[in-house]
Amino acid sequence: MEQKKNEYLVREPVGMLMRKYAVPCIISLLVAALYNIVDQIFIANATYLGSYGNAANTVVYPLTVVALAIAVMIGDGCCAFVSISLGANRKEDAHRSVGSAIVLCVAASILLSVIYLIFSDGIVGAFGGRVNEETFRLSKEYFFYITLGIPFYMFGQAMNPIIRSDGSPKFAMASTLAGAVANIILDPIFIFVFKWGMMGAAVATVIGQVITAVLAVWYLTRMKAVSLHRESFGLFPKLARRYLALGMTSFLSQISLVAAMMAINNMIRHYGALDPIFGQAEFAQIPMAVVGIVMKFFQIVISVSVGLAAGCIPVVGYNVGANRKDRVKHLFTLLLTCEAIVGAVAFIIVEFFPGQLIGVFGAANESTYYTEFAIKAFRTYLCMVVLATVNKGTFIYLQSVGKALASTMISLIREVVFGVGFALLLPRFFGLDGVLYSMPVSDVLTFIIAAVVIRKTYQELSE
C-alpha cells in the first residue's frame, strides 16, 4: 500500500510534477534563507547597529551554514534514498532510513552546539570577527543566542526534504513559512521597540526555528508513504552510509560556502586594511558588511536554483527506481532550462538595479563609500550568476539519479578548489577587487566541466 501511494510519480506529466514539488521546495528554501536576511535588513536599518551589526551578521552567517550543511546532508540524502527505495518497493529501507536520519540529526546538532559554545571566541575570530572591537562584540552576542537554537534549526531543515519525500511538499513549505513569519514579526519588535540589538535579532530567529521543528515532529507522527515504528529508530550504519553518500553534494555545496566565506572574510580584513579608504578605522567594517549583503542576495538566487533541483529529487528518484529513463531525461531538460531563466533574471537585477538592492540594507544611513563599493560588488561578484545556477542544478540532479560520486567530485572542485582557491589567490594580485573576481572565475571554469557531464548524462539516459 505504501508504494502505491507514490505511483503517480511515474504517471503524471513531469512538468506538472516538477511544479508540484519544486514550488513548495523553493518557497521553503527561500523562507529558510530569509531568516538571516531579514535579521540583516532590520539590523542594517537600526541606527544604533548599522554597518557594525551588518558586519557581525556576516561573521556569524557562515557558522549557521555549517549547521545547515550537516542538516541537508542528512535530509537531502535521506530524501533521495527514501524516494529510490519507494520506487523499488523497498519499504523497510525507507522507514529505517528516516528513523536513522532523525537520530543522527539530533546527536549531531547537540554536539555542534556544545563545540560552538566552548570555542566561541576562537571561532568568531577565525571568521573575521576581529576586524574591529565593536564588530567582535556584536558578533559574539549574536553568535551565542543563535547557537542555542541550532538543534531546532538543524532538525527542521533536515526533516523538510524527508517530509517532501513522503509526498507532502506543501506541509514542508508551510512549516518553514510559519517559523519565518514569526521571525519577521518579532524582529522589529525586539530590535526597534525593546532595543535588544543583536540579541533581539537572534532570539526572534530561534523562536521561528522552534516553531518549524515542532511542526516537523507533529508531521513525523502522521507520515503517509513511510510508516515509522519503534524499530525504525537506530543509526543503522549500512543505511546511513548509503543516504549520507547521496547527501554529500548538498553538504559540500554548503560547507564549501563556509570555507569560501572564511577565506573571503579574512582576505577582506587583510586587504581592506591596506586600502586607503577602508584602512581607516571608521570604515574598516564596510567591505565585510557589503560582501555579506551580496552573498545574502546570492543566497536568495541559489535558494530558487536549489529548490528547483531539490524539488525534483523525489520525482527523479522514484522514476530511476522504476527504470523510467525517458521521464528522467525530460525532467533534466526542464530543470536546466528553468535554472538558466532564474540566473538570467538575477543577472538583470544585479547589473541594472544594484543601487536599489543596497538601499534595502540601510545605505541611507551609511557613507557614500558603502554605496559605491556595494554597487561594484553586486555587478562584479554576480556577473556570471547564470552559469552559477546551471552548475548548481546539475550537481543536485546528478545526486538525485544516484550519481553520488560524480556529483560530489564536481561540487568539490567548484566549491573548494575553485571557490576557496581563487578567494585566496586573486586578492594577492588585485587586492579587494580580487575577492569580487573569485566568484565569476570559479563559475566559468566549473561550467566547462559541467557541460561535459551534462552531455554524458543525456547520452546515458538515451540508451
Domain membership of residue 6 (yes or no) is no
404-433 per-position pLDDT tens digit? 778 878 888 888 889 889 999 999 999 999
Domain contains 2: no
DSSP state for residue 365 in the 8-state scheme: G
Q: Do residues 43 and 204 lie in contact, with contact meaning Cβ atoms separated by under 8 Å? A: no
Residue 125 or 360, more confident: 125
Residue 122 lies in a domain: yes
Instruction: Answer with the residue of higher pLDDT: 367 or 357.
Output: 357
pLDDT of the residue at 428: 92
Report, as an integer, the average pLDDT of 377-397: 93
Q: Quote the CA–CA distance of 268 and 286 in Å, as a whole number.
A: 10
Supply the pTM of this predicted model.
0.78
Residues contacting 308, CB < 8 A, separation 6+: 18, 22, 25, 26, 335, 338, 339, 342, 393
Q: Flag whether 176 is in a domain.
A: yes
For 45, 92, 216, the CA distances from 298, given in Å and listed in that order, are: 20, 40, 27
3 within domain boundaries: no
Domain count within the chain: 1
Establish if 354 belongs to a structural domain.
yes
- pLDDT given at position 446: 95
What residues make up the domain containing 233?
Answer: 11-462
- Is residue 452 very low, low, confident or very high in pLDDT (cuts 50, 70, 90)? very high
User: Is the residue at 1 inside a domain?
Assistant: no
Q: Can you give the pLDDT at residue 90?
A: 82
List pLDDT tens digits, range 268-291. Answer: 988 988 888 888 878 888 898 888
Axis-axis angle for helices 14-44, 150-165 (nearest 10): 160
Q: Which of 6, 1, 73 is nearest to 321 (CA)?
A: 6
Rounded distance, CA 264 to CA 421, Å?
Answer: 10
Q: Are residues 171 and 163 in contact, defined by beta-carbon separation less than 8 angstroms?
A: yes
Mean pLDDT of 151-168: 91
Which of 83-87, 287-291, 374-378, 393-397 is predicted most confidently?
A: 374-378
Q: pLDDT confidence of 203, banded at 50, 70, 90?
A: very high
Q: How confident is the model at residue 2 (pLDDT cuts 50, 70, 90)?
A: very low
User: What mean pLDDT is predicted for residues 4-27?
Assistant: 80
**What is the pLDDT, as a whole number, of residue 61?**
87
Examine the pLDDT at 3 and tell me if it is beyond 50.
no
Q: State whether residue 324 is helix, strand or coil.
A: coil
454 Cβ contact list (under 8 Å, min separation 6) = 336, 394
Is 4 part of any domain? no
First to last CA, the chain: 32
Name, in order, each residue with C-beta under 8 angstroms of 81's C-beta and a sequence gap of 6 or more: 93, 94, 97, 239, 242, 243, 246, 317
Taking 90 as the threshold, does the pLDDT of residue 124 lie above it?
Answer: yes
Task: Give the ranges where 273-367 is alpha helix by DSSP (H).
Answer: 286-311, 313-321, 325-352, 354-360
pLDDT for residue 422: 94
What's the pLDDT score for residue 462?
A: 82
Q: What is the mean pLDDT of the chain?
A: 88
- Of the CA atoms within 13 Å of residue 69, those in its CB half-sphere come to 18
